[in-house]
Amino acid sequence: LKSEIEIGPVYHRLPERIRAHASICFMALILHRVMRSRLKAADAGYTPERALEQLQRIQHHRVRLNGGEPVAGVSTISTEQNEVLHALGIEKPAAP
């Protein structure tokens, strides 16, 4: 399972850090399983890893030229990214 969500060994001394690390690992596991189940239910044909690869390409840009007001935008959403977002039940990201 650690290979699916790419968790490596981490050594902590303090009890609160151990609990925090375990909590983060557990949340990652739950998110991975929810993604897998939603993708399967939607018959999307994507694994969680492949879906994340697609979604990592989406970029949010914020540019300020010559001290003017900042302009924000989101990269164009591809067909594959749109399929993944729809399968996961997530709205398309939009500029504010």
List, for residues 40-85, the tens digit of each pLDDT value: 999 999 999 999 999 999 999 999 999 899 999 999 999 999 999 9
Three-state SS sequence of the chain? CHHHHCCCCCCCCCHHHHHHHHHHHHHHHHHHHHHHHHHHHCCCCCCHHHHHHHHCCCCEEEECCCCCCCEEEECCCCHHHHHHHHHHCCCCCCCC
Q: Please give the residue range of the domain that contains residue 56.
A: 15-88
pTM: 0.75
In this structure, is residue 4 part of a structural domain? no
Total domains in the fold of the chain: 1
In this structure, is residue 26 part of a structural domain? yes
List, for residues 30-40, the tens digit of each pLDDT value: 999 999 999 99
